[in-house]
Amino acid sequence: MTDASTNMRLKLPIVCFILQIILIILFGVLVQYDHEVDAKKWHSHNHSDYDNDFYYRYPSFQDVHVMIFVGFGFLMTFLQRYGFSSVGFNFLIAAFALQWATLMQGFFHGMHGGKIHIGVESMINADFCTGSVLISFGAVLGKTSPIQLLVMAAFEVTLFAVNEFILLSLLGAKDAGGSMTIHTFGAYFGLIVARVLYRPNLNKSKHRNSSVYHSDLFAMIGTIFLWMFWPSFNSAITAHGDDQHRTALNTYYSLAACTLSTYGMSALTAHDGKLDMVHIQNAALAGGVAAGTAGEMMLTPFGSMIVGFLAGIISVLGYKFLSPILEEKLKIQDTCGVHNLHGMPGILGAIVGAVTAGVASTDTYGDGMADVFPDVATGNVEASFQGIRQAISLAVTLGMALLGGLIVGFIMKLPVFGAPPDTLCFEDSIYWEVPGAEEGHEDQLTTVMSAETEKLNS
Amino acid sequence: MTDASTNMRLKLPIVCFILQIILIILFGVLVQYDHEVDAKKWHSHNHSDYDNDFYYRYPSFQDVHVMIFVGFGFLMTFLQRYGFSSVGFNFLIAAFALQWATLMQGFFHGMHGGKIHIGVESMINADFCTGSVLISFGAVLGKTSPIQLLVMAAFEVTLFAVNEFILLSLLGAKDAGGSMTIHTFGAYFGLIVARVLYRPNLNKSKHRNSSVYHSDLFAMIGTIFLWMFWPSFNSAITAHGDDQHRTALNTYYSLAACTLSTYGMSALTAHDGKLDMVHIQNAALAGGVAAGTAGEMMLTPFGSMIVGFLAGIISVLGYKFLSPILEEKLKIQDTCGVHNLHGMPGILGAIVGAVTAGVASTDTYGDGMADVFPDVATGNVEASFQGIRQAISLAVTLGMALLGGLIVGFIMKLPVFGAPPDTLCFEDSIYWEVPGAEEGHEDQLTTVMSAETEKLNS
Amino acid sequence: MTDASTNMRLKLPIVCFILQIILIILFGVLVQYDHEVDAKKWHSHNHSDYDNDFYYRYPSFQDVHVMIFVGFGFLMTFLQRYGFSSVGFNFLIAAFALQWATLMQGFFHGMHGGKIHIGVESMINADFCTGSVLISFGAVLGKTSPIQLLVMAAFEVTLFAVNEFILLSLLGAKDAGGSMTIHTFGAYFGLIVARVLYRPNLNKSKHRNSSVYHSDLFAMIGTIFLWMFWPSFNSAITAHGDDQHRTALNTYYSLAACTLSTYGMSALTAHDGKLDMVHIQNAALAGGVAAGTAGEMMLTPFGSMIVGFLAGIISVLGYKFLSPILEEKLKIQDTCGVHNLHGMPGILGAIVGAVTAGVASTDTYGDGMADVFPDVATGNVEASFQGIRQAISLAVTLGMALLGGLIVGFIMKLPVFGAPPDTLCFEDSIYWEVPGAEEGHEDQLTTVMSAETEKLNS
């Protein structure tokens, strides 16, 4: 079932070992515990234990971690014959990306005497960056080899760190939940890669590019864990106190409103008034994406619910009307519909963030302004200019994603990376040892069919 | 497969959009961040960040959230052809109920200058109220349309808030884990609704009202997550410090003891000495229900284990002997057996709470009495009278549930809501686009059967 | 399908009820809330609520709890016809073991005026001890009755507590994540039990000792939850502050590095360059095991990644080359390969811990030495001697596991405990009511086959 080029016996071990050994060497040279992790440094100051950032952020980190590995991993198991690859490649590229992201983000977030300092916040940031790669994975799901995915991850993490640096450090934008840095960037990067990797004959694998009953249930595990923990995702690196509290609450209501609009739109647009699992699995999450930038701001529950409500609507409409156009006209084969779940809702989130920032006032934020918009609090910039910086950040992100995806897509196209042939897309058995579908089942069928054959011969 | 009345193309969108728009308007008019969420209010006082209630309750909130969406959702996937609806309708009605509950509970818990103040504690309370609706869903599982369920949720949330107000505010009862407010109320409300919706010809769908091998494994995901996080559920809104600590610990041991008695009773009562998945999936959780009221009290690990042990026994006995009687004699078709998991164990929990409260003494509680029984601590009432208030609360809850269920059941019976016909109960495909059961499987069978047919014709 | 000896109708209830009643009595006599759980004691001192250990450890406890019940439970569902038993027996023996462990560990950790004091830390320790039993369960999976497993749990918990007491209290070793006490002990104990229970005719059940497509996906739920929460496992009972923070971080990077080496080694060694699910499900976790002892030390991220990298390699090599030898030469039928996941990586972790302890210096640890190596901090022992104590602890653990496993294995062999016959290993239906595999499927096949039969007869 495999030919030489897709055989991973030597390629995958070589790539995995070289990447990991490089990572180990770079960590040995460059990485240190920060002062809250290091035994000597922590104890050299007079802290109370509960001041350690671990207690403010570790529960959020674990929720984010679940989203990255269970959420994204299982969300993509909806395909009937691609469950091993969905969970398994998600696992592999995430484990690589989080290490590489630690280095890249550490480099851009500022070195300390030539060293990168790490702790719970850098772990969350590394998981965030990994999330962006996994979004892009969704666009090319089923059509790429694990080596292609590792190559994509290596470049995308780097570009993510550059873009994040431009947005947060140079432009002074705020984007705690990553509507721009994570979702918009990951989606459009992945879409352009999918465009470059366009397969005109993908319909040869079309019968596998759909779900079966239990694969849709596995995918719901991913959906529900993403949905539940999104409040933790958006609030994981916001400032302590009211900021984390407010971000979680805003996201909670945005998601709830999004779920109702998703169900409504799904029944309205799907065949015969029946609900479509693709919408439920994906569009119901758009409210979390769209609250990624403004979630930490004084968006109010009212504003959050409007944002979520709109996000659900545009996401379902995207699945119904835009995805077919993207595929036919623009030749973008977006397996998971990341444009509908992360792309458009990410842009919506960026716009909402720009508007909410633009109208921020001391009247509303009081002394809390320093946490959310430090430059506005110090009087360095007007709130309206903060809004403009947010809008510019969206444009920069789109530019970086499109250009980056273009270059990386062409790199991934190199035949040496072992992409599957058109006839074996969306198929685990090209890269995995795959057991039978059900106990005893094949045997029973074989028995019946042999009996058939015997009689025909007699 | 659907006729006009069960077609959801217009009905479901209209209901979802109207409900959500009403919610958004009411939130806009009535809801504000509380002082721990609002940027200005939080920073106008001199707090330490770790004083923010977020850090005391958010991890518990997330555990409760998992129970509501994964726990209840997957627990009900045991049916062979109702997995999409179990997880999916659970998702829909929970997303609606938590928003509506925020308003209803906010209204009854006390307005602040005409505004409802929300934060992590109100989020937990909203999830709790939602849990009650999901319990009722279990009683009518497979026999109701999503619109009927939304109607039920709208009314049940309202009545829940009234009952909770009577118990906690008027009667001064304690019920942190909701043995009465959540479990007893949700179970008996749902049972009466099921009685009103009685279907004499439900046996037409009988072949679908059972599990298959993998659907039972999906259900175990729900069971185990409920079981694991129940200590967080019962302790989520108890007082800070020893109270949360004690409640979690009591629930942990109650559940452990319950699990052993469940396995023992299942082997004793089930066919041929074999364990029955229905018992394991459900009765093993009864220990959490039964510790819902007394969990925060000085129940001791010893007392907790006795409570759990008894809860497991009565729950299995209920499944074995009482459920058939309920169906045949009382015409209550209780799909998930919520009477055995939430009804009887909830009453047990209420009684245990009344007794434990009645014997509370300063000797045992010391200055901690103020957290658990503030009225007893101030000398306003005797402990024995607190016990009586607890017992009265159980009676009120039963009355509210029975009366409320009766009225709401008749409302749900209106034909416009699109209930499934008797022949299509426990069946996803009436409301969902459903893919095939297994890749290639139908094709193979079809091939064999066509070969059959051809030969017969020749 | 069952004969008298494997029928559980009376045996299992008797065992469950007797064990639980003994536990309840012993808890009544011996167990008390500790001062952070007890209402009177906590309020008799002047604490801040956030000083309560609950807030430092409860989120970690819940993560550990998920690993024990979902992680171990679902990891073992890879077998095609043993999912009910994997999750269900895991549930039963864990619920028993955590109660029994509370008593045994309480006894050895020091009584307070004849009483065992319990709180969140004892709950974590009880879960840890339970984990050890579940590791041993993996070695004998599919070949034991629930009663045999309860018997094993009763003895193994006791011996675990003795071994832990020797290591931590008498020898002064450090082993916060249990590379020795949990993993090495549990693995070698289970392997010797499997040796004693050797079945020469196990090949009669060979066709069931493998996975099917969806059972491998269920198993990945277990794998991923174990992988994600391992940082919480290793850090759950380390000292507050930098220690918990550092342990979580070290484990995070160890696991990430382990994942890449696992994927590389799997493709290198498996058939035709394809990835093997057995490796991914298990070996990718070895990095958590191997960081169990040194995780709390100043291992550095660099050191952690080397440890994880090596752990993944030896674990895959074990599955590929050592497991067949163990079965053929040493007659150890290790169903889950616990030797590769817990045995060898546990020993690696113990060695790494001994070396890391041996080179500890005040230069590196500063005043934090008191948390990690209190005896070194006070000057009682040299760091090099701490290293020797760690090495001796490994030897003691191996001795205890081998001797204990030998004795307990022979006890488990008593025919009264109802072990399954060789022909019905790896089969749920001997102890469980099992529904059909798929809705409608058998009926269709039956129809086809009856048509067959009729024609053959005509």
Q: Quickly list DSSP for C48-76.
A: -GGGSHHHHHHHHHHHHHHIIIIIHHHHG
Residue in C263, C316, C372 to test binding to A, most A beta-carbons within 10 Å: C263
Q: How far is residue C54's CA from residue B157's CA, in Å, rounded to a whole number?
A: 32
Between A59, A253, A448, which is nearest B448 by CB?
A: A448
Q: Digits of tens for pLDDT over chain B (458 positions)?
A: 445 788 999 999 999 999 999 999 999 999 999 999 999 999 998 889 999 999 999 999 999 999 999 999 999 999 999 999 999 999 999 999 999 999 999 999 889 999 999 999 999 999 999 999 999 999 999 999 999 999 999 999 999 999 999 999 999 999 999 999 999 999 999 999 999 999 999 999 999 999 999 999 999 999 999 999 999 999 999 999 999 999 999 999 999 999 999 999 999 998 789 999 999 999 999 999 999 999 999 999 999 999 999 999 999 999 999 999 999 999 999 999 999 999 999 999 999 999 999 999 999 999 999 999 999 999 999 999 999 999 999 999 999 999 999 999 999 999 999 999 999 999 999 999 999 775 544 444 344 434 444 444 44
Q: Where residue C446 falls among pLDDT bands split at 50, 70, 90? A: very low
Q: Where residue A458 falls among pLDDT bands split at 50, 70, 90? A: very low
Q: Which residues pair with B32 in a beta bridge?
A: B117
Q: How many helices (H) and strands (E) does chain B have?
A: 21, 2
Question: Residue B178 half-sphere exposure, CB side, CA atoms within 13 Å?
Answer: 32
Taking CB atoms and an 8 Å cutoff, what residues of chain C touch B296?
Answer: none
User: What is the three-state SS of C1-43?
Assistant: CCCCCCCCCCHHHHHHHHHHHHHHHHHHHHEEECCCCCHHHHH
C317 to C262, C267, C326, C333: CA distances (angstroms): 10, 12, 13, 17
Q: C202, C309, B440, C444: which is closest to A434 by C-alpha? A: B440
Mean pLDDT over A164-187 rounds to: 98
User: What is the three-state SS of C266-302?
Assistant: HHHHCHHHCECHHHHHHHHHHHHHHCCCHHHCCCHHH
d(CA A294, nearest CA chain B) in Å: 14
Instruction: Break chain A down into helix, strand, coil percent, rounded to 5.
Output: 75, 5, 20
Q: Roughly what angle, to the nearest 10 degrees, separates helices C146-164 and C11-30?
A: 30
Residues 238-257, chain B, touching C (beta carbon < 8 A): 240-246, 248-249, 252-253, 255-257
User: Quick check: B431 and A275 CB within 8 A?
Assistant: yes
Q: Where residue C447 falls among pLDDT bands split at 50, 70, 90? A: very low
Residues whose CB is less than 8 angstroms from the CB of residue B25 and which lie 6 or more positions away in sequence, other chains included:
none
* pLDDT above 80 for C458: no
Return the pLDDT at B449.
Answer: 39
Q: How far is residue B433's CA from residue A419's CA, in Å, rounded to a whole number?
A: 32
Q: C259 CB near a chain A CB, below 8 Å?
A: yes
Q: How far is residue C112's CA from residue A176's CA, in Å, rounded to a whole number?
A: 49
C80 to A96, A298, C203: CA distances (angstroms): 31, 52, 16
State the Cα angle at B240 between B238 and B241, rounded to 5°. Answer: 115
* pLDDT above 90 for A440: no
d(CA A315, nearest CA chain B) in Å: 15
What is the sign, positive or negative, of the torsion defined by CA atoms of C6, C10, C12, C15? negative
Q: How many helices (H) and strands (E) does chain C have?
A: 21, 2
SS3 A275: strand
User: How far is C-alpha C317 from the geometric centre of its chain's CA atoms?
Assistant: 21
Q: How far is residue C331's CA from residue C225's CA, in Å, rounded to a whole number?
A: 32
d(CA B361, nearest CA chain A) in Å: 34
Return the pLDDT at C270.
Answer: 84
Lowest mean pLDDT, pick from C141-145, C267-271, C396-400: C267-271
**Predicted structure pTM score:** 0.96
User: Quick check: A59 and B58 CB within 8 A?
Assistant: yes
- In this complex, which chains have at least 3 CB pairs below 8 Å with chain B? A, C
* pLDDT above 90 for A3: no
Taking CB atoms and an 8 Å cutoff, what residues of chain B touch C73?
Answer: 220, 224
* pLDDT above 70 for C357: yes
Q: A54 CB near a chain C CB, below 8 Å?
A: yes
Structure tokens at A271: 């065949």
Return the pLDDT at A438.
Answer: 59
Taking CB atoms and an 8 Å cutoff, what residues of chain C touch B221?
Answer: 70, 74, 221
* pLDDT above 50 for C451: no
CB A371 within 8 A of CB A239: yes
Q: B287 CB near a chain A CB, below 8 Å?
A: no
CB C305 within 8 A of CB C368: no
Return the pLDDT at A45.
Answer: 87
Q: Where residue A448 falls among pLDDT bands split at 50, 70, 90? A: very low
Report pLDDT digits (tens) over C49-104.
999 999 999 999 999 999 999 999 999 999 999 999 999 999 999 999 999 999 99
CB B430 within 8 A of CB A273: no
Closest-CA residue of chain C to A59: C59
d(CA C419, nearest CA chain B) in Å: 14
How is B380-438 classified by DSSP, letter by letter?
A: SS-HHHHHHHHHHHHHHHHHHHHHHHHHHHHHHT-GGG-PPPGGGTT-GGGTB----SS
Residue in B47, B211, B213, B446 to test binding to C, most C beta-carbons within 10 Å: B213
Q: How far is residue C314's CA from residue B67's CA, in Å, rounded to a whole number?
A: 38
Return the pLDDT at B271.
Answer: 79
Residue C176 phi/psi, 5-degree rounding, is: -60, -35
Compute chain B's Rg from CA coordinates.
23
d(CA B238, nearest CA chain A) in Å: 19
Report pLDDT digits (tens) over C424-445.
999 999 999 999 775 444 444 3
Residues whose CB is less than 8 angstroms from the CB of residue A374 and which lie 6 or more positions away in sequence, other chains included:
none
Query: How many other C-beta atoms can be found within 10 angstroms of the C-beta atom of residue B457?
Result: 6
Cβ neighbourhood burial of C76 (10 Å; 0-12, 13-18, 19+): buried
Taking CB atoms and an 8 Å cutoff, what residues of chain C touch B276?
Answer: 432-433
Closest-CA residue of chain C to B236: C58
User: Quick check: B439 and A212 CB within 8 A?
Assistant: yes
Question: Residue B368 half-sphere exposure, CB side, CA atoms within 13 Å?
Answer: 31
Between B81, B232, B242, which is nearest C439 by CB?
A: B81
Residue B105 phi/psi, 5-degree rounding, is: -70, -40
* pLDDT above 70 for A453: no
Return the pLDDT at A5.
Answer: 84
